[in-house]
C-alpha cells in the first residue's frame, strides 16, 4: 500500500512542490527557462499547436532543471538489492541472500562529484559526462528495475514547466521549509501566488 501511494502520489507532488521552492529562490533559473520555452513557442508555425515530441527533446536547460531537482530531492531514500553471492565491503562479508540498501542520497549529494551538493545549480549538468551521471545519479533506480514511470515523470515535469513559465509569473508568499521523516515533508507547505502573463 505504501509503495502504491508513494509511487503514484507522493513522488510527483513532492517533486513539483520542491520545483516551486527552487525556482522561487533562483530567479535566474526561471529567466533561462523562459528564454528556452519562449523560443520554442516563437518557432512554431501555428501558434496554437500543442507541444510536440521534437520540442520536448529540444528542452536542454529544462532537463538540467529537472535533473537538478531530482538530484537534490532524493525522493526515494534508497534502493534495495539482494546479494546473489558473498561479497566484501571494507573487511565485512555480506552473505549471499542478504538484502542490501543502496543509499542514493550518498552518491547524489557527494561533494566530489557534485560540487556544493546542496546548492541548486542546474548549470552543473553542462559539465557532467554520461558515465559519471549513470554511476552517481539514480533518481529512478537503475538497471532492468528502473522505475517504470521514469520517462513519463520527466515528460510531465517538463510539460508543467513549459506551461508555467510561458503562461504564468509566480512569487513565493511563504513557506518552503523542508524536512525528512525519511520522506520529504513541507511543514506549512509552500504558498505561491500566480499571475497570468499577457
Ligand X SMILES: *[C@@H]1O[C@H](CO)[C@@H](O)[C@H](O)[C@H]1NC(C)=O
Q: Which set of grid coordinates corresponds to residue 164?
A: 508555467
Nearest residue to ligand X by CB is 125
Q: Which of 8, 13, 60, 179 binds ligand X (CB under 6 A)?
A: 60
Q: Which is nearer to ligand X, 67 or 158 (CB)?
A: 67
The answer to whether 63 contacts ligand X (rule: CB under 6 A) is: yes
Beta carbons of 15 and 73 less than 8 angstroms apart: yes
Q: Is 147 flagged in the annotation as binding? A: yes
* Separation CA 47–CA 179 (nearest Å): 42
Q: Which is nearer to ligand X, 167 or 179 (CB)?
A: 167
Shortest gap between Cβ of 98 and ligand X (angstroms)? Answer: 28
The answer to whether 132 contacts ligand X (rule: CB under 6 A) is: no
- Reported for 124-127, long-range contacts at CB under 8 A and 24+ positions apart, including other chains, are 124/68, 125/63, 125/64, 125/67, 125/68, 126/64
Complete DSSP assignment for 71-128: HHH--SS-EEEE-SS-EEETTEEE-TT-EEEE-HHHHHT-TTTSSSTTS--GGGGGG-
Q: Which is nearer to ligand X, 110 or 167 (CB)?
A: 167
Q: Which of 79, 125, 157, 184 binds ligand X (CB under 6 A)?
A: 125
The answer to whether 163 contacts ligand X (rule: CB under 6 A) is: yes
| Candidate ranges 10-18, 56-64, 88-96, 169-177; the one touching ligand X (CB under 6 A) | 56-64
How many C-beta atoms surround the C-beta of residue 96 within 10 A? 11
- Reported for 92-97, long-range contacts at CB under 8 A and 24+ positions apart, including other chains, are none
* Separation CA 35–CA 133 (nearest Å): 26
Q: Which is nearer to ligand X, 193 or 197 (CB)?
A: 197
Shortest gap between Cβ of 129 and ligand X (angstroms)? Answer: 9
| Candidate ranges 31-39, 62-70, 83-91, 110-118; the one touching ligand X (CB under 6 A) | 62-70
Annotated binding site for heme: 147
| Contact residues: ligand X, CB under 6 A | 60, 63-64, 67, 125, 133, 137, 163, 167
Annotated binding site: 147
Amino acid at each position: 500500500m505504501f509503495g502504491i501511494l508513494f509511487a503514484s502520489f507522493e513522488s510527483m507532488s513532492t517533486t513539483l512542490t520542491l520545483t516551486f521552492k527552487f525556482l522561487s529562490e533562483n530567479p535566474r533559473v526561471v529567466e533561462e527557462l523562459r528564454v528556452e520555452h519562449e523560443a520554442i513557442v516563437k518557432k512554431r508555425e501555428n501558434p496554437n499547436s500543442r507541444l510536440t515530441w521534437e520540442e520536448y527533446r529540444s528542452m536542454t536547460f529544462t532537463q538540467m532543471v529537472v535533473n537538478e531537482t531530482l538530484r537534490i530531492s532524493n525522493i526515494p531514500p534508497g534502493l534495495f538489492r539482494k546479494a546473489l553471492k558473498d561479497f566484501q565491503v571494507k573487511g565485512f562479508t555480506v552473505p549471499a541472500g542478504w538484502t542490501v540498501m543502496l543509499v542514493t542520497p550518498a552518491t547524489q549529494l557527494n561533494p566530489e562529484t557534485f560540487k556544493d551538493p546542496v546548492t541548486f545549480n542546474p548549470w552543473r549538468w553542462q559539465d557532467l559526462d554520461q558515465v559519471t551521471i549513470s554511476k552517481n545519479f539514480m533518481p529512478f533506480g537503475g538497471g532492468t528495475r528502473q522505475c517504470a514511470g521514469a520517462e513519463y515523470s520527466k515528460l510531465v515535469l517538463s510539460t508543467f514547466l513549459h506551461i508555467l513559465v510561458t503562461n504564468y509569473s509566480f512569487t513565493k508568499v511563504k513557506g518552503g521549509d523542508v524536512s525528512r521523516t525519511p520522506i520529504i515533508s513541507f511543514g506549512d507547505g509552500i504558498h505561491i501566488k500566480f499571475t497570468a502573463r499577457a
